[in-house]
Chains A and B, each alone.
Chain A
């Protein structure tokens, strides 16, 4: 029996099976946390905020029982790119200089590269944490609740929340559609075209596939429009109430405290470890 090694794929919009404290949190809480972390790291991308948020991320992953297998396989070309980046940055040198016996290592460049990479990884990780622990059905109701104040600005939050809910329902169908289109193209022999450069052929093919995809999407939209009309237009989108509970307030307070701590450390520049 032959066993082919499979790469772990990126699984879209499906929470890790099972439940946990983190799974049970309100979807709105998780979105606020990710937004806050992104904002913090955008304004203060120093080592201490990055480290604090990384620790918080790992602790959350632990609480949510996320196995290592949830991470998609990292393709080899990405490793190679990272290695090239690290090597060139290390050669760049600069302060601080590390004295090892008789060697003077200039680590400034490497440290900056590492900080930038760590920042990207932590941000990606927080984004993934939301999709790993949140059922898509909970997203739109939470958005509707969070967006309620925007109604005062005459922003049609309710319509947007319904559109988001329906989009999330249609999204897997669209992904399947592209999977099928790609398969249909693979099944064909290489095109025999009497005229045209490779570029023109590529353009024609892209338009062909896009037109087929859009045609099927339009049909789906027509049918979905009928289904909405049959229900008398839009209204409720979820059966269960969507609001924060006690655990959510605890989580939000903890994250707020950590963020404030990180900002204070950065402003005071404790130990000279912050931005340099």
Chain B
């Protein structure tokens, strides 16, 4: 792996990095960066072409490319340019292709100038040269494409002639119209000069805007934690990861003040099923890193051969985040993704084994979290690993998905010649293992979570102290239906005749699986989506006419935090001045955060704190109701419990109306006494 990545979790190095390995092929990190930034550029370009009046966005396509030019070698930039321009071509044809190509050219240039620590004069000089080169290229193309040039100029001339003719009918404009015609004629005669001037001007403009935006964005990106974990190993010799024996192995991240893993002695033999449990911070993930090849800070790890991460017969790892695990666009492609060219696994059998039989041709974008994780297991099995490490694979998966995934994991070691190390923070998951290794030391200080069983749907439960009759309706949905892409071959009904009422102070859980329409429902209630039929009223006003009155906290909290610092963010979300410190501190206090956090940068917050800051900003506007989309996803057990008790308290004591959208029930009974089940877009 390249040195652009510091060893562990500390923040990204602010300065640019140079590759440690001048190898020809892209490393996994470079490949991922090129692909994601390429996709980001393509998305920006497409939005600027497809969405009317968003044309200005095309100026910003330079930023992701500039970032690549700044941080990685030219090879990475070229791969990203190829990917982004091909996508743009597939969607928007030649115009999208040209937008991306130009922006990659300009953006990459600004990034490289930035890396060389040059300033504005260099930017201007380089942009002039780039403008001239681009101008020469366009002039050359038009010289070759004689007929296209003639047609374009003729069509333009016809338009100008028409306007001139119409203007000449009115005496006062006659002379100026004729002048315009003459000027246009002269301009066409000297078209190469005109094109050259235009090219230099636009390239310079785009470069300057790109330079400005890139500098700002780079400032913001300082201090963003690098969450990548695995390292490509430089190994020789035959692959034989098992049996592995750890003797007093200890690990400390460079620059950290304490050990991430305290001295540990353990062994994993072929065919074993081991559960690893422990509280947050006890080193579960660090142990995964050591088993997958990282050298310990002290102590010994002894294995007969190479670790072989991802190689046939080596070590395979399945991690937490379902969406990121899966790399193929089609299920069958993901199973073989990354295998050597001659490997031909039985894809159908592997999919059958993880319960995805017959889904070879399905698009991975439509799979649920649980299905994605089982697909990741199938891809791991395609490598016939000697050791499979599952690192908290169920933590972002709903109850049904969790059961199915555990079913797959439980008898893997019986069916294959392999060892399974299952890292988890759930009680019942540890029980199916042959033995358990507890990293927390003693069992009683462990934070273990038991998943909840699905309760029955219930009617409204009156809040103690409030008379049920005095509560007025906040949200009223009347036969709401919604169809995406109506009238096209891709039309998809998301909601069908959904009617319900949410009263003041209610706590409602809208429960449904993947694709049940629950997110659409949340967007409709927040007024962000207008339903195709039916009405959603917020205190007698149509929801789409009062966006912002019903607050919504999205699952991806980071995307909702737009400002750089906590106080700026809360002030912006609530609509008051960032200098109003008292209100910022008060808003933080409502969500149980200390006022000292006000000056903190957003990217230094933990996941739980981010959710709380979002909620603080939303509540400071006194919304009619608060909608939370999967509020507990991705949080550890402690943060989950803290957030739940905070929200329950706000609902009970401050009379906040809460609507939670979730695929899980765990711990939500107190917050949401009323449950609505959404199935295939209908309430049941």
Interface size class of B (residues with CB under 8 A): 35 or more
Expressed in whole angstroms, the minimum distance between the Cβ of A267 and any Cβ of chain B is: 11
CA distance A4 to B524 in the complex (A): 14
Secondary structure class of chain A's binding surface, majority of residues = helix
| B186-217 contacts to A (CB < 8 Å) | 212-213, 216-217
- When each residue 82-120 of chain B gets 1 if its CB lies under 8 Å from chain A and 0 otherwise, what string results? 111011011111100000000000000000000000000
Given A91-B166, A160-B83, A231-B337, answer yes or no on A169-B579 (Cβ-Cβ < 8 Å): no
Q: Which residues of the other chain, A, contact B232 by a CB distance below 8 angstroms?
A: 229, 233
A228 with B333: CB separation less than 8 A: no
A45 with B148: CB separation less than 8 A: yes
Q: Which residues of the other chain, A, contact B160 by a CB distance below 8 angstroms?
A: 88, 92
Q: Which residue of B lies closest to A125 (CB)?
A: B93
Expressed in whole angstroms, the minimum distance between the Cβ of B550 and any Cβ of chain A is: 9
Q: Which residue of B lies closest to A147 (CB)?
A: B82
* Residue A9, interface by CB 8 Å: yes
- When each residue 565-581 of chain B gets 1 if its CB lies under 8 Å from chain A and 0 otherwise, what string results? 00000011111110100
A220 with B324: CB separation less than 8 A: yes
Q: Which residue of A lies closest to B531 (CB)?
A: A4
CA distance A91 to B159 in the complex (A): 8
- When each residue 158-169 of chain A gets 1 if its CB lies under 8 Å from chain B and 0 otherwise, what string results? 011011111111
A189 with B330: CB separation less than 8 A: no
Expressed in whole angstroms, the minimum distance between the Cβ of A204 and any Cβ of chain B is: 9
A168 with B227: CB separation less than 8 A: no
Expressed in whole angstroms, the minimum distance between the Cβ of A133 and any Cβ of chain B is: 12
CA distance A185 to B328 in the complex (A): 32
B46 with A11: CB separation less than 8 A: no
Number of contacting residues on A, CB 8 A? 128
- When each residue 497-530 of chain B gets 1 if its CB lies under 8 Å from chain A and 0 otherwise, what string results? 0000000000000000000000000010010101
B161 with A94: CB separation less than 8 A: yes
Q: Which residues of the other chain, A, contact B564 by a CB distance below 8 angstroms?
A: 208, 211
B383 with A232: CB separation less than 8 A: yes
* Stretch of A54-62, A96-104, A234-242, A251-259 contacting B (4+ beta carbons < 8 Å): A234-242
Q: Which residues of the other chain, A, contact B231 by a CB distance below 8 angstroms?
A: 229
A226 with B228: CB separation less than 8 A: yes
- When each residue 129-152 of chain A gets 1 if its CB lies under 8 Å from chain B and 0 otherwise, what string results? 011001111010001000000000
CA distance A183 to B524 in the complex (A): 12
Expressed in whole angstroms, the minimum distance between the Cβ of A45 and any Cβ of chain B is: 5
Given A212-B559, A224-B32, answer yes or no on A123-B93 (Cβ-Cβ < 8 Å): yes
CA distance A268 to B108 in the complex (A): 46
A167 with B60: CB separation less than 8 A: no
A239 with B230: CB separation less than 8 A: no
| A184-210 contacts to B (CB < 8 Å) | 184-192, 194, 203, 205-210
CA distance A217 to B216 in the complex (A): 17
Instruction: Give the residue of A2, A38, A70, A166 whose beta carbon is less than 8 angstroms from that of B32.
Output: A166
* Residue B262, interface by CB 8 Å: no
A93 with B165: CB separation less than 8 A: yes
CA distance A18 to B573 in the complex (A): 45
A139 with B90: CB separation less than 8 A: yes
* Residue A108, interface by CB 8 Å: yes
Expressed in whole angstroms, the minimum distance between the Cβ of B682 and any Cβ of chain A is: 16
Q: Which residues of the other chain, A, contact B453 by a CB distance below 8 angstroms?
A: none
Q: Which residue of A lies closest to B621 (CB)?
A: A189
Given A17-B490, A212-B562, A227-B325, answer yes or no on A235-B338 (Cβ-Cβ < 8 Å): yes
Given A17-B490, A192-B577, answer yes or no on A87-B162 (Cβ-Cβ < 8 Å): yes
| B161-175 contacts to A (CB < 8 Å) | 161-163, 165-166
Most buried by B among A12, A134, A163, A220: A163
CA distance A119 to B487 in the complex (A): 27
Given A69-B488, A208-B564, answer yes or no on A164-B229 (Cβ-Cβ < 8 Å): no
* Residue B608, interface by CB 8 Å: no
Expressed in whole angstroms, the minimum distance between the Cβ of B313 and any Cβ of chain A is: 11
B145 with A3: CB separation less than 8 A: no
- When each residue 252-269 of chain B gets 1 if its CB lies under 8 Å from chain A and 0 otherwise, what string results? 000000000000000000
CA distance A265 to B489 in the complex (A): 38
Given A211-B216, A214-B64, answer yes or no on A143-B86 (Cβ-Cβ < 8 Å): yes
Expressed in whole angstroms, the minimum distance between the Cβ of A144 and any Cβ of chain B is: 11
Expressed in whole angstroms, the minimum distance between the Cβ of B25 and any Cβ of chain A is: 6
B365 with A172: CB separation less than 8 A: yes
Q: Which residues of the other chain, A, contact B86 by a CB distance below 8 angstroms?
A: 139, 143, 164
CA distance A229 to B340 in the complex (A): 14
* Stretch of B315-323, B441-449, B664-672 contacting A (4+ beta carbons < 8 Å): B315-323
* Residue A44, interface by CB 8 Å: yes
CA distance A78 to B24 in the complex (A): 47
Given A45-B147, A213-B40, answer yes or no on A163-B83 (Cβ-Cβ < 8 Å): yes
B159 with A88: CB separation less than 8 A: yes
Q: Which residue of A lies closest to B561 (CB)?
A: A212
B562 with A184: CB separation less than 8 A: yes
Q: Which residues of the other chain, B, contact A139 by a CB distance below 8 angstroms?
A: 86, 90
Q: What are 12 pairs between A and B in contact, CB < 8 Å?
A: A38-B94, A88-B166, A89-B155, A135-B330, A135-B363, A159-B25, A162-B35, A166-B36, A174-B43, A187-B526, A214-B221, A221-B37
Question: Other than the known A159-B25, A207-B217, A218-B221, what 11 A-B pairs have Cβ atoms closer than 8 Å?
Answer: A1-B479, A69-B487, A92-B161, A113-B159, A210-B217, A214-B40, A229-B1, A230-B292, A235-B339, A238-B332, A238-B333
